[in-house]
């Protein structure tokens, strides 16, 4: 039998195990918190946690701020457009364009614009049985839970590899 040698240093497996555990804990905690709050699409909390969890506190904070700002903008515009126009393609197009201008005016970057557009699409284009404003509110809460859990876990359980490498 041929022995395969790893190209990774000996400590890499410990770091990989810890990072995997850290990520799994964060994703599950955010899912459970969202379920406790009876959010209809609690999986968005876990998805958000996975998106915003970064190697370092600074990177997580930056990503979280952009995601929250974009989601807030997309939820507000989505509630308005969804209530007034429904899944109208022309209204959706105008809202996407308008949010790009709003992000520029508010000095938000393209990541915030991306999250605003995703939220707008979810609120206005996904078939729903509830009013658009309710879907927008739920989306904002679900994303906020994911951001909160991701930031908390990044703060209390930092990624040791990134901290050791001096990444900011």
Q: Are 108 and 69 in contact (CB under 8 A)?
A: yes
Radius of gyration of the chain (CA): 19
Q: Are 154 and 74 in contact (CB under 8 A)?
A: no
Q: Is the pLDDT of residue 167 over 50?
A: no
- For 133-155, the pLDDT digits (tens) are 999 999 999 999 999 999 999 99
- For 104-138, the pLDDT digits (tens) are 999 999 999 999 999 999 999 999 899 999 999 99
Domain ranges of the chain: 29-34+41-156
Say what the pLDDT of residue 74 is.
98
**In sequence order, what DSSP letters do the residues of the chain get, joined into one string?**
-PPPPPSS-TTHHHHHHHHHHHHHHHHHHHHHHHHHTT-TTTHHHHHHHHHH--SSHHHHHHHHHHHHHHHHHHHHHHHHHHHHTTT-HHHHHHHHHHHHHHHHHTT--HHHHHHHHHHHHHHHHS--SS-HHHHHHHHHHHHHHHHHHHHHHHHHS--HHHHHHT--
Q: Taking the model in full, what pTM does it have?
A: 0.84
Q: Alpha-carbon distance 87 to 114, whole Å?
A: 19
Q: Alpha-carbon distance 31 to 39, whole Å?
A: 10
- For 30-86, the pLDDT digits (tens) are 999 999 999 999 999 999 999 888 768 888 898 899 999 999 999 999 999 999 998
């Amino acid at each position: 039998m041929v022995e395969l040698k790893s190209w990774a240093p000996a400590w890499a497996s410990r770091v990989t195990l810890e990072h995997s555990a850290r990520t799994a804990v964060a994703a599950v905690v955010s899912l459970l918190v969202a379920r406790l709050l009876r959010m209809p699409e609690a999986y968005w909390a876990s998805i958000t946690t996975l998106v915003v969890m970064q190697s370092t506190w600074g990177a997580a904070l930056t990503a979280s701020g952009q995601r929250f700002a974009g989601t807030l903008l997309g939820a507000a515009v989505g509630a308005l457009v969804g209530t007034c126009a429904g899944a109208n393609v022309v209204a959706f197009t105008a809202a996407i364009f308008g949010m790009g201008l709003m992000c520029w005016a508010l000095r938000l970057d393209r990541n915030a614009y991306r999250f605003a557009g995703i939220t707008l699409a979810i609120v206005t284009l996904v078939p729903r049985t509830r009013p658009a404003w309710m879907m927008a509110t739920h989306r904002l809460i679900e994303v906020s839970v994911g951001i909160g859990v991701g930031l908390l876990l990044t703060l209390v359980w930092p990624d040791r590899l990134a901290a050791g490498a001096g990444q900011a």
